Amino acid sequence: MLDSFFKISERGSTVGREVRGGLVTFFTMAYIVALNPLIIGLAKDADGKFIGGGDAPNLALVAAMTALMAGILTILMGLVGNYPLALATGLGLNTFVAVGIASKMTWADAMGLIVLEGIIITILVLTGFRTAVFKAVPAQLKIAISVGIGLFIALIGLVDAGFVRRTGSGPVPVTLGADGTLVGWPIIIFAIGLFLMIALMVRKTKGALLIGISVATVLAVLAEKAFKIHAGFIAKGGVEFMTNGTNKLPAEYKGFLIPSGDYVNPKGWSLNVPAVPTEWIQTPDFSLLGHFSLFGGFAEISLVAAVLLVFTLLLSDFFDTVGTVTAIGHEGGLIDKDGNIPYNEQILLVDSLAAVAGGAASISSNTSYIESASGVGEGARTGLASVVTGLCFLLTTLFAPVVAMIPYEAATPALIIVGFLMMTQISGIDWSDYGIAIPAFLTIILMPFTYNITVGIGAGFITHVVIRAIQGRRKEIH
């Protein structure tokens, strides 16, 4: 029955290979259950509230919903698209939502924009327009967008880990560590986690990112227990936050200021302090489901600004998914002689609905993961592998409290690695053609330098049109 439904033999695979491939994909991308809460769960909206509307972060809440949606959507991809492709909250997109959207409105309004984007992209799939729009943007600019987001993600990882810090004054906006030096156990934990992930990747170890996060977290918990490092941030007015409970500001902290006016403990944890949870397993809380306002964002910011934000989300979903699906198809030998992918429309439909589901679940847009290639490399060729991966994610919902013990320093090395993987696509840009090279260059550098994905995309599109017009190659402008 499995062979007939998933066409396992027809694609040259076996049930065993599909199960093994599904497990490998899960262990390769399961880090998102730990990383997504640290990206959107610790960010505040325009009202100063954390996701879910609370005054304090609830990482377990975000982790449970992240795992639930990843499980449901990945299983749906396996059953409907019959493709070895897993879905979860999109890295890069979730950072953009936390930094570029939620900071301008409430979380419900921000998630409403994601749902709206998902609805639009679903309509485009059903009408066949998604392919037409995809073809309108030069392929090399699509690569530049992906590379730029990769650098943006890497910078965020370095900043959140405390490896790169804002100076707050002077001609240089950022510096290495605290006042030009790397100090404290959290930085050591970050370095150990990064080098461990690099070593495991070089040795082609499956689940390198997950293993790296896990080992770094254990070391972080042990370091905190032994040395009482405490948190790195101290609130305004000299009141300590998550430290030793006193109200006196230690003298050694006074030289470290960030633009907001908060004091920083240069040797402390960037955000959450690692500690062993009192409960390892609990009934998952899915109360975030339905916390969105479809058009609320349009009331918070201007119509043009809201449309641009939706358009940015739309672009990312468009280009990331098509690139991922094509890459997986080539890796698994699933592309036919005409370059087509089996069940292409069904695959794109599930991916589009994933954006809607992610917004409706208040965990940011869900999308296809290139890490699925690890499962394909292990032998996966059909949707059965996706079903296996999805079931693993569903089981993960029971262990959501564990993510509360993971500090940024243990998880952010994964952002550096993901940034590197996205950067490798840069070889696909023709640097001898200035009409592409200059727009691609501006797209790539302006995303991290301005801390804004939209700025990079806008600069790339505008300069491409201007240069092609100057060159007299207007026919190449769609």
Q: Looking at residue 97, what DSSP letter applies?
A: I
| Closest residue by Cα to residue 380 from 438, 423, 440, 334 | 334
- Cβ count within 10 A of residue 345: 14
Alpha-carbon dihedral sign for residues 439, 442, 444, 450: negative
372: tokens are 């699925």
Report the candidate in 44, 21, 23, 40 with the shortest Cα–Cα distance to residue 32: 40
How far apart CA 133 and CA 130 sit, in angstroms, is 5
Q: What is the DSSP string of 126-150?
A: HHTHHHHHHHHS-HHHHHHHHHHHH
Helix (H) or strand (E) holding 234: strand 233-234
Q: Please tell me the total number of residues recorded for the chain in this structure.
A: 478
Buried-state track 299-314, b at ≥16 Cβ within 10 A, e below 16 = ebbeeeebeebbebbb
**Contact (Cβ atoms closer than 8 angstroms) between residue 96 and residue 453:** yes
pLDDT tens across the length of the chain (478 residues): 889 899 999 998 999 889 988 888 888 788 788 788 878 887 888 888 888 888 878 888 898 999 999 999 999 999 999 999 999 998 778 888 888 898 889 999 999 999 999 999 999 889 988 766 666 778 788 788 778 878 887 887 888 788 888 776 667 778 888 778 888 899 999 999 999 999 998 998 877 877 888 899 899 999 988 888 766 655 444 333 333 334 444 444 443 333 344 555 677 787 667 878 777 787 888 999 999 998 988 988 888 888 888 888 887 777 677 767 877 887 788 877 665 777 888 998 999 999 999 999 999 999 998 788 878 877 889 999 999 999 999 999 987 777 667 787 887 888 788 788 778 888 889 999 999 999 999 999 998 888 777 688 889 989 999 999 999 998 888 8
Model's pTM, two decimal places?
0.69
